[in-house]
């Protein structure tokens, strides 16, 4: 009769076997995990420790085997890593054999951004290293090395920080939808797009033959930590062969955190942090607007928790600073739709019949479906205006926004706010 | 810390090592586990730690008062007062805005209601679970099921013990407190069972649940209008598999972790989709909640002792409140109502004593027919459970009749859907046999095998880990 109960000595041996083999199999993954931690005590300990383990075990070649398995999983359609899928598809198209060490792989065409800003990337440490160097070293002298996206800075990367963001809901009109060709609209961003907004917009666009929606969002991501999720790789892979006419972006909710650039911790909110983040925003905007796409950058709504709200307000200012420098991008701020009369967080809105409508999700961060519906109603009118749109009813900001103003208006507003931003920055300096 | 993360693995290995090094010192051992549980909870959000401590301390003190009270009236008063405070806490955090909006909704039918700023407190993680633990402590002391005097430290640990803190299983005080009263036995560890549960739980959560969620369920429930009947049907089946694998995966990991620490948790799932009637389903699905509702709600309401009509009413009340426990939304109430209805219909059906029908009910053909019918009835309930609004739920149901190809049924999706549903039909003897077989292997090899299995799960799983569905409750 075999025993099914065991002693702690046995437990110790089982755990020892587990730890040793886990280190052997997962040394790359652990190093990647440590690299993705927020700067702090744990990261300070974990990064050198996991990298030491990784270096020690690298000669065994387990990492390369692991990457080979991941590629094979991508080939049979198991993987959901868009960049890896694109890379594998590209290799298949070229009829080339996958390189043994993906960390040394050349950037696939499909994984490159339309503006050539992308870098090859598996979710492994080797790829992360490749990405970090690919996000560049040249650029503004103030930037820490290893932050630039390629050569020259993208538009808006070095613009002085705006002191405030406009609450505009105005959008310059789009050219009419061409008969027989649906307008391709990409929805890009983190959970601020994935939760509420995207589903509501897609439901409203489901029966609209003039629109085709492309999903390009991923929860739990952002632009601050490309070593964790690299939008410069993932976005082109998400698009595949689609060439969007319009890109609606809602991103930044996870970006209020420090990061490490060239072994240097940049604390959230410092000037160095802002420079790098603004650079990443600019590179991302250049990528999504490449190919002539019009970009609607949806400002993040006010948040429930004050500390977080302050962070989001700062991220909005940085995003606006960058967006206002791009001729193809429009700043769209829904605070009038989902915030209170002071532009602060509001969870419920009172409807005309006295009922309460939840406009924000219970987490105090995302939009509820109803709240998102207020945004998407306007966006749908803009994306696919009714054939004989009535003249604007001037009863409030929503109605004013529902009918797009003159094309020159956003530019004028941009200029004005750029001026304000410059003044604000000067005062700060 | 989510279970399937490196952070949790490091945390748990550290706790395991320290806890066993302290096992000889019973009180220190328990205090260490309590501290570890607070760290585990505090890493989510420190600001709610006082609430957790407050509720568990309060329930421990009231439990002591119940035990010390001589008269049954005083005992009952303490129980009622304690339960009211616990339920009021749960109600405040979970149902304030729901009740206010419902009130405004009703009022608006008769006229314009006054302007009211609807308020909704941020929901503390796991509040539904730790409040139910607190009530279980009071209830079990009231019924004299807890024989020994309750110690405050034990009450605190019972409510906050980290493997079950966030999403159960809901432990009974009468079964867990006796485990705290004795020293851990370092020679009676079900190591193999524990690791099988952990690996199985990770497989169910990381691979089956996550893949079904991202590739099948979320797309269809987000935009049902974009999918035809086959995709919609697969998404409904997919959600049945997803929620089972998500929640049972969580509890399997919780049970496995507790086992490694030397504690026994009750089984929370027992192949629920193999059930042939609604009563059997609730004996197999979320067992710790269904038995909690039975013991602390259905029985106090009178159970089945007060006639048929009262039994049906009690069933409906229990299931409606069970639905509401899952979330402050009418879709959850509808889900509970459907299950209450199933239980009532089943009772009525069971009372039919017509001979040929009785004989037919004994056949294998009927048993399989009943299983299939019940599974689809349960799936109907899941549509309301999963949908954020009734409009989406009815849209999903409406799309079932729309022709269209199964565009989402890729090979991997079909495989994990099959595994998620068919896995419940694997005989228990396989698992038991494998546990025994593992016992033949050297300990180091067992550890290595677990590491290989977890590495494989990590590679096969989608990128990122979604929170467990039951965390929101």
CB pairs under 8 A between A and B: 164
Question: Helices (H) and strands (E) in chain A — how many of each?
Answer: 14, 9
Asked if B20 and A11 count as a contact pair (C-beta separation under 8 A), the reply is yes
Q: How confident is the model at residue A204 (pLDDT cuts 50, 70, 90)?
A: very high
Q: What pLDDT sits at residue A122?
A: 25
Q: How far is CA B137 from CA A312, B102, B435, in A?
A: 43, 32, 34
Query: How close A136 gets to chain B, by Cα (Å)?
Result: 26
Q: What pLDDT sits at residue B2?
A: 83
Query: How close A162 gets to chain B, by Cα (Å)?
Result: 32
Q: What pLDDT sits at residue A96?
A: 52
Nearest to A369 among B215, B389, B458 (CB): B389
User: How wide is the angle at C-alpha B300 spanned by C-alphas B299 and B304, nearest 5°?
Assistant: 40
Task: Count the Cβ atoms, other than its own, within 10 Å of residue A198.
Answer: 25
- In A, residues 316-355, which contact B (CB 8 Å cutoff)? 347-348, 350, 353-355
Helix ranges (H only) for A179-222 are 191-194, 197-205
Contacts of B73 (CB under 8 A, 6+ apart): none
Cα A63 from Cα B459, distance rounded (Å)? 12
| Boundaries of every domain in chain A | 8-60, 183-428
- Residue B383's Cβ-side half-sphere holds a number of Cα atoms within 13 Å equal to 25
Cα B158 from Cα B173, distance rounded (Å)? 7
With an 8 Å Cβ cutoff, are A21 and B463 in contact? no
Q: What is the CA radius of gyration of chain A?
A: 24
Asked if A318 and A310 count as a contact pair (C-beta separation under 8 A), the reply is no
Interface residue B189 vs chain A (CB under 8 A): yes
pLDDT of A142 strictly over 50: no
Q: Which residues of B80-107 are buried (b: 16+ CB within 10 A; e: fewer)?
A: eebbebbeebbeebbbebbebbeebeeb
Residue B124: name the closest of B84, B185, B165, B164 by CA.
Answer: B165
Q: How confident is the model at residue A390 (pLDDT cuts 50, 70, 90)?
A: low
- In A, residues 214-253, which contact B (CB 8 Å cutoff)? 218-220
Nearest to A26 among B104, B114, B455 (CB): B455
Cα A4 from Cα B435, distance rounded (Å)? 7
Q: How confident is the model at residue A410 (pLDDT cuts 50, 70, 90)?
A: very low
* Residue of B429, B455, B456 best to disrupt the A interface, most CBs of A under 10 A: B455
Question: Helices (H) and strands (E) in chain B — how many of each?
Answer: 22, 0
Residues of B in contact with A25 (CB under 8 A): 451-452, 455
Cα A242 from Cα A259, distance rounded (Å)? 32
Residues of B in contact with A8 (CB under 8 A): 20, 23, 186-187, 189
Query: How close B445 gets to chain A, by Cα (Å)?
Result: 7
Q: How confident is the model at residue A144 (pLDDT cuts 50, 70, 90)?
A: very low
DSSP string, A71-82: HHHHHTT----H
Question: Is B286 a catalytic site residue?
Answer: no
Instruction: Point out the catalytic residue in the list B326, B339, B346, B376.
Output: B326
Residue A428: name the closest of A179, A218, A161 by CA.
Answer: A161
Nearest to B448 among A17, A69, A304 (CB): A17
* Residue of A26, A127, A356 best to disrupt the B interface, most CBs of B under 10 A: A356
Query: Strand (E) positions, B184-317?
Result: none
Q: What pLDDT sits at residue A64?
A: 85
- In A, residues 162-191, which contact B (CB 8 Å cutoff)? none
Asked if A336 and A167 count as a contact pair (C-beta separation under 8 A), the reply is yes
Q: What pLDDT sits at residue B442?
A: 92
Residues of A in contact with B186 (CB under 8 A): 7-8
Cα A276 from Cα B136, distance rounded (Å)? 53
Asked if A262 and A146 count as a contact pair (C-beta separation under 8 A), the reply is yes
With an 8 Å Cβ cutoff, are B118 and A356 in contact? yes
pLDDT of A213 strictly over 90: yes
Backbone angles phi, psi at B266, to 5 degrees: -70, 155
Instruction: Quote the mean pLDDT of chain A.
Output: 77
With an 8 Å Cβ cutoff, are B444 and A14 in contact? yes
Contacts of B77 (CB under 8 A, 6+ apart): none
Q: How confident is the model at residue A151 (pLDDT cuts 50, 70, 90)?
A: low
- Residue A165's Cβ-side half-sphere holds a number of Cα atoms within 13 Å equal to 30
Q: What pLDDT sits at residue A409?
A: 34
With an 8 Å Cβ cutoff, are A14 and B447 in contact? yes
Strand partners, A331: A297
Q: How far is CA A203 from CA A380, B2, B140, B409, B462, in A?
A: 11, 32, 49, 21, 25
pLDDT of A401 strictly over 60: no
Lowest-pLDDT choice from A35-39, A138-142, B236-240, B437-441: A138-142
Cα A10 from Cα B192, distance rounded (Å)? 10
Query: How close A3 gets to chain B, by Cα (Å)?
Result: 7
Residues of B in contact with A14 (CB under 8 A): 191, 195, 443-444, 446-447, 450
Residue B322: name the closest of B359, B361, B295, B351 by CA.
Answer: B295
Interface residue B117 vs chain A (CB under 8 A): yes
Helix ranges (H only) for B301-442 are 308-326, 330-351, 355-361, 364-386, 390-399, 411-422, 428-438
ipTM of the complex in this document:
0.86
Asked if A138 and A114 count as a contact pair (C-beta separation under 8 A), the reply is no
How far is CA A76 from its chain centroid?
A: 27
Handedness of CA A398, A404, A405, A410 (dihedral sign): positive
How far is CA B209 from its chain centroid?
A: 15
Interface residue B452 vs chain A (CB under 8 A): yes
Query: How close B278 gets to chain A, by Cα (Å)?
Result: 32
Fold of the domain built from segment(s) A183-428: Rossmann fold (3.40.50)
Higher pLDDT, B157 or A130: B157
- Residue A169's Cβ-side half-sphere holds a number of Cα atoms within 13 Å equal to 22
Q: What is the pLDDT of residues A75-99, one digit of tens each?
A: 888 888 877 888 888 888 776 544 4
Asked if A237 and A230 count as a contact pair (C-beta separation under 8 A), the reply is no
* Residue of A9, A11, A219 best to disrupt the B interface, most CBs of B under 10 A: A11
B400-406 — which CB contacts under 8 Å span 24+ positions?
A: B400/B229, B400/B232, B400/B233, B400/B236, B401/B229, B402/B228, B402/B229, B402/B232, B403/B228, B403/B229, B404/B227, B404/B228, B404/B229, B404/B230, B404/B231, B405/B228, B405/B230, B405/B231, B406/B228, B406/B230, B406/B231, B406/B234
With an 8 Å Cβ cutoff, are B451 and A25 in contact? yes
Lowest-pLDDT choice from A119-133, A330-344, B414-428: A119-133
Identify the H or E element spanning A136.
none
Cα A207 from Cα B377, distance rounded (Å)? 30
- Please state, for a pLDDT cut of 90, what percent of chain A lies above it: 41
DSSP state of A211: E
- Please state, for a pLDDT cut of 70, what percent of chain A lies above it: 75
Q: What pLDDT sits at residue A13?
A: 95
Pairing relation of β-strands A264-266 and A348-350? unpaired
Query: Strand (E) positions, A198-245?
Result: 211-217
* Residue of B96, B106, B191, B227 best to disrupt the A interface, most CBs of A under 10 A: B191
Measured between CA atoms, the residue of chain A closest to residue B223 is A203
Query: How close A359 gets to chain B, by Cα (Å)?
Result: 12
With an 8 Å Cβ cutoff, are B226 and A206 in contact? yes
Q: What pLDDT sits at residue A3?
A: 65
Higher pLDDT, A242 or A112: A242
pLDDT of A183 strictly over 90: yes
Q: How far is CA A56 from CA A53, A68, A298, B42, B276, in A?
A: 5, 20, 46, 35, 56
Cα A294 from Cα A288, distance rounded (Å)? 9
Strand partners, A260: A265
Q: What is the pLDDT of residues B412-452, one digit of tens each?
A: 999 999 999 999 898 888 888 888 888 889 999 999 999 99
With an 8 Å Cβ cutoff, are B104 and A347 in contact? no
- In B, residues 369-408, which contact A (CB 8 Å cutoff)? 388-389
Query: How close B252 gets to chain A, by Cα (Å)?
Result: 18
Q: Which residues of B200-238 are buried (b: 16+ CB within 10 A; e: fewer)?
A: bbbbbbbbbbbbbbbbbbbbbbbbbbbbbbbbbbbbbbb
Q: What pLDDT sits at residue A391?
A: 55
Q: How confident is the model at residue A404 (pLDDT cuts 50, 70, 90)?
A: very low
pLDDT of A127 strictly over 80: no
Asked if B81 and B88 count as a contact pair (C-beta separation under 8 A), the reply is no
Backbone angles phi, psi at A391, to 5 degrees: -65, 155
DSSP state of B205: I
All residue ranges of chain B with pLDDT < 70 are 464-473
Task: Count the Cβ atoms, other than its own, within 10 Å of residue B418.
Answer: 12
- In A, residues 97-136, which contact B (CB 8 Å cutoff)? 123
With an 8 Å Cβ cutoff, are A5 and B20 in contact? no
Measured between CA atoms, the residue of chain A closest to residue B450 is A18
Nearest to B20 among A8, A198, A206 (CB): A8
pLDDT of A66 strictly over 80: yes
How far is CA A222 from its chain centroid?
A: 4
Cα B438 from Cα B428, distance rounded (Å)? 16
* Residue of A12, A17, A67 best to disrupt the B interface, most CBs of B under 10 A: A17
Helix axes B26-42, B6-21, angle to 10 degrees: 170
Torsion of CA B434, A7, B183, B195, to 10 degrees: -30
Interface residue B84 vs chain A (CB under 8 A): no
Cα A272 from Cα A81, distance rounded (Å)? 31
A399 SS3 class: helix
pLDDT of A26 strictly over 60: yes
Q: Which residues of A307-328 are buried (b: 16+ CB within 10 A; e: fewer)?
A: ebbebbbbbbbbbbbbbbbbeb
Nearest to B447 among A21, A347, A369 (CB): A21
Interface residue B118 vs chain A (CB under 8 A): yes
Task: Count the Cβ atoms, other than its own, within 10 Å of residue B66.
Answer: 26
Residues of A in contact with B429 (CB under 8 A): none
Helix axes B49-68, B127-142, angle to 10 degrees: 10
Helix ranges (H only) for B22-151 are 26-42, 49-68, 72-110, 127-142
Residues of B in contact with A199 (CB under 8 A): 222-223
Residues of B in contact with A77 (CB under 8 A): 410-412
Q: What pLDDT sits at residue A162?
A: 84
């Amino acid at each position: 009769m075999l025993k099914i109960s065991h002693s702690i000595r046995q437990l110790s041996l089982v755990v020892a076997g587990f730890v040793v083999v886990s280190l052997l199999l997962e040394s790359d993954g652990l190093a990647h995990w440590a690299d993705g931690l927020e700067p702090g005590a744990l990261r300070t300990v974990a990064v050198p420790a996991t990298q030491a383990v990784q270096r020690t075990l690298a000669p065994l070649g387990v990492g390369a085997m692991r990457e080979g398995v991941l590629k094979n999983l991508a080939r049979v359609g198991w993987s959901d890593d868009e960049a890896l899928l694109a890379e594998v598809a590209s290799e298949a198209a070229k009829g080339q054999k996958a390189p043994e060490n993906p960390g040394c792989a050349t950037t696939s065409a499909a994984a490159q951004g339309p503006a050539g800003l992308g870098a090859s990337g598996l979710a492994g440490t080797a790829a992360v290293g490749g990405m970090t160097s690919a996000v560049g070293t040249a650029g503004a002298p103030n930037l820490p090395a290893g932050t630039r996206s390629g050569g020259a800075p993208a538009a808006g990367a070095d613009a002085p920080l705006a002191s405030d963001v406009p609450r505009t809901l105005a959008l310059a009109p789009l050219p009419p939808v061409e008969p027989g060709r649906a307008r391709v609209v990409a929805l890009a961003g983190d959970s601020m797009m994935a939760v509420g907004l995207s589903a509501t917009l897609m439901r409203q666009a489901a029966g609209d033959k003039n629109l085709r929606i492309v999903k390009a969002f991923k929860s739990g991501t952002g632009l601050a930590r490309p070593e964790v999720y690299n939008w410069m790789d993932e976005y082109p892979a998400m698009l595949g062969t689609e060439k969007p006419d319009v890109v609606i972006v809602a991103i930044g909710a996870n970006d209020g955190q420090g990061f490490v650039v060239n072994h240097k911790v940049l604390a959230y909110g410092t000037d160095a942090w802002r420079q790098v983040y603004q650079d990443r925003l600019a590179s991302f905007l250049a990528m999504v607007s490449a190919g002539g796409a019009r970009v609607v950058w949806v400002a993040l709504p006010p948040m429930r928790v004050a500390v977080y709200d302050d962070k989001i307000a700062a991220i909005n200012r940085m995003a606006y600073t960058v967006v206002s420098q791009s001729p193809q991008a429009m700043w769209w701020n829904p605070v009038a739709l989902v915030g209170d009369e002071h532009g602060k967080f509001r969870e419920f809105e009172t409807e005309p019949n006295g009922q309460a409508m939840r406009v924000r999700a219970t987490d105090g961060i995302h939009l509820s479906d109803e709240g998102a519906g207020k945004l998407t109603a306007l966006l749908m009118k803009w994306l696919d205006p009714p054939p004989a749109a009535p003249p604007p009813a001037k009863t409030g900001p929503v109605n004013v926004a529902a009918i797009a103003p003159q094309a020159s208006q956003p530019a004028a507003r941009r200029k004005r706010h750029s001026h304000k931003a410059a003044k604000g920055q000067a005062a700060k300096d | 810390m989510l279970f399937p993360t490196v952070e949790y693995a490091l945390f748990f290995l550290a706790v395991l090592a320290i806890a066993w090094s302290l096992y000889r010192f019973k009180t220190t051992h328990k205090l260490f586990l309590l501290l570890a549980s607070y760290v585990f909870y505090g890493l989510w959000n420190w600001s709610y730690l006082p609430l957790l401590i407050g509720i568990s301390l309060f329930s421990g003190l009231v439990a002591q008062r119940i035990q010390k009270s001589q008269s049954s009236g005083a005992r009952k008063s303490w129980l009622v007062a304690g339960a009211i405070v616990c339920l009021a806490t749960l109600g405040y955090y979970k149902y304030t805005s729901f009740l206010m909006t419902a009130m405004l909704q009703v009022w608006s039918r008769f006229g314009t209601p006054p302007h009211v700023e609807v308020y909704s407190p941020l929901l503390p993680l796991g509040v539904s679970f730790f409040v139910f633990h607190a009530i279980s402590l009071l209830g079990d002391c009231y019924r004299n099921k807890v024989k020994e005097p309750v110690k405050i430290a034990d009450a605190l640990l019972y409510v906050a013990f980290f493997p079950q803190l966030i999403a159960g299983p809901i432990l009974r005080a009468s079964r867990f407190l006796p485990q705290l009263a004795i020293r851990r036995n370092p020679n009676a560890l079900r190591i193999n069972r524990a690791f099988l549960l952990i690996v199985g739980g990770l497989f169910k959560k990381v691979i089956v649940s996550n893949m079904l969620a991202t590739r099948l369920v979320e797309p269809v429930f987000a935009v049902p209008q974009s999918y035809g009947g086959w995709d919609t049907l697969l998404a409904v089946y997919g959600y049945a598999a997803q929620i089972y694998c998500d929640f049972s995966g969580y509890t399997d990991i919780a049970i496995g972790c507790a086992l490694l620490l030397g504690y026994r948790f009750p089984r929370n799932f027992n192949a629920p989709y193999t059930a042939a009637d609604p009563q059997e389903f609730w004996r197999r699905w979320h067992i710790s909640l269904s038995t909690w509702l039975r013991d602390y709600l259905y029985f106090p309401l009178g159970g089945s002792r007060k006639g048929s009509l009262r039994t049906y009413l009690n069933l409906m009340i229990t299931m409606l409140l069970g639905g509401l426990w899952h979330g402050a939304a009418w879709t959850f109430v509808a889900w509970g109502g459907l299950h209450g209805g199933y239980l009532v219909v089943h009772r009525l059906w069971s009372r039919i004593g017509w001979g040929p029908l009785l004989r037919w009910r004994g056949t294998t053909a009927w048993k399989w027919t009943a299983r299939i019918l019940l599974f689809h009835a349960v799936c109907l309930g899941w549509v309301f459970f999963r949908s954020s609004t009734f409009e989406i739920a009815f849209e999903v149901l409406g799309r079932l009749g729309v022709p269209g190809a199964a565009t989402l049924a890729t090979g991997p999706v079909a495989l994990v859907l099959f595994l998620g549903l068919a896995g419940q039909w694997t005989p228990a003897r396989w698992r038991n046999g494998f546990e025994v077989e593992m016992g033949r292997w050297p300990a180091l090899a067992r550890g290595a095998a677990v590491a290989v299995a977890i590495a494989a799960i990590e590679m096969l799983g989608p990128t990122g880990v979604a929170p467990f569905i039951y965390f929101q409750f």
